[in-house]
Amino acid sequence: MISAIIVAVLALALLLFLVWMAVSRSHSRKFRENPAKHLRPVDVEAFRNLIDPAEEEFLRSRLPLAEFRKIQRQRLSAAVAYITDAAHNARIMVQLADAARHSPDPAAAQSAQKLLNEATQLRLYAYQALPRLYLAMAFPSRRTSPLRVAESYEQMTQRVVSLGVQYPASGISAVL
């Protein structure tokens, strides 16, 4: 009986995985056709301000505790939105860089490989930072500063600009 349940659960998991792969591939095609349409703008300077420890300390020292917690939760919520958008953009960049890696131009292929590495790293940083930010939202007095996400995003956008010169992709760098 237990083995039948295990087999059923594994079959269901395999089915869900195959559906996920099919949906992922269809998104991949849409992203490659018009990537700029799917990118979300990320204001890195505003994001840096939200996660700046000095800004947090300034607010902590100037506001009553209850008001500080409320404002800090709002700031962290906005930071989560920025990180989510940056991870989304990095996902698109991974797909574009993967396609550009096969370019006959060695410089474009090398730049695409670097973009692929940076976008993958950004996604990892983002997925590490999100749980920390949610925890900080639950406990606003807890300090957290996901600066690596901002730095990684800036590196990725610089790489996109340099790759765009060698391998044009319809206005992507303008959106980032």
Confidence of residue 63 (pLDDT cuts 50, 70, 90): very high
Residue 9, classified by CB atoms within 10 Å of its CB into exposed (0-12), middle (13-18) or buried (19+), is: exposed
User: In the numeric block, which tokens belong to residue 109?
Assistant: 């292929």
Q: Please, how many CA atoms are within 13 Å of residue 91, restricted to the half-sphere of its CB?
A: 18
Q: What is the pLDDT of residues 30-48, one digit of tens each?
A: 555 666 677 888 888 888 8
Domain layout of the chain by residue ranges? 34-175
Closest CA to 46 of 71, 74, 78: 78
Question: Across residues 17-34, what is the average pLDDT?
Answer: 63
Residues found in the chain: 176
Q: Does the predicted TM-score (pTM) go above 0.85?
A: no
pLDDT at 173 over 80: no
